[in-house]
Amino acid sequence: MADPSPSRSFELHAEDGAARAGVLRTAHGEVRTPVFMPVGTKAAVKTLHPDEVRALGAQIVLANTYHLHFRPGEELVRELGGLHRFMAWDGPILTDSGGFQVFSLRDTIVRVDDDAVAFRSVYDGSEARFTPELAAGVQASLGSDIAMCLDQVPAAGVSRRVLEEAVRRTTLWAERQRDLPRAPGQLRFGITQGGTDPELRRRSTEEIVELGFDGNAIGGLAIGEDRDLMFETTDAAAALLPADRPRYFMGIGDPEGILEVIEAGIDMFDCVLPTRTARTGSALTPAGRLNLRNARFARDERPLDETCDCPACERFSRAYIRHLVNQDELLALRLLSLHNLRFLVSLTDGARDAIERGAFAGYKRDRLERLKCPDS
Ligand SMILES: [Zn+2]
Quote the pLDDT of residue 7: 54
Q: Which tens digit of pLDDT belongs to each residue from 200-209?
A: 999 999 999 9
Task: Find the 364 Cα to ligand 1 centroid distance in Å.
Answer: 21
Q: How confident is the model at residue 4 (pLDDT cuts 50, 70, 90)?
A: very low
Q: According to the model, what pLDDT value does residue 375 have?
A: 57
Residue 270 known to be catalytic: yes
Residue among 16, 96, 267, 305 flagged as catalytic: 96
Of 36-40, 92-96, 101-105, 165-169, the poorest mean pLDDT is in 101-105
For the residues 228-246, what does the mean pLDDT come to?
Answer: 98
Ligand 1 midpoint to CA 36 (Å): 17
> What is the whole-number distance in angstroms between the Cα of residue 283 and the centre of ligand 1?
9
3-state secondary structure of 317: coil
Instruction: Report every protein residue that has its C-beta within 5 angstroms of ion ligand 1.
Output: 308, 310, 312-313, 339
| 204-219: b (≥16 Cβ within 10 Å) or e | bbebbbebebbbbbbb
Residue 147, classed as helix, strand or coil, is strand
Residue 146: is its pLDDT beyond 90? Answer: yes
pLDDT tens figures, 340-359? 999 999 999 999 999 999 99
Give per-residue pLDDT as tens, 67-123. 999 999 999 999 999 999 999 999 999 999 999 999 999 999 999 999 999 999 999
Helix (H, G, I), strand (E, B) or coil at 35: strand
Out of 16, 270, 300, 305, the active site residue is 270
Ligand 1: centre distance to CA 313 (Å): 4
Instruction: Please give the Cα distance from 204 to 236 (Å, whole number).
Output: 12
Residue 145 annotated as catalytic: no
pLDDT digits (tens, 9 = 90+) for 183-198: 999 999 999 999 999 9
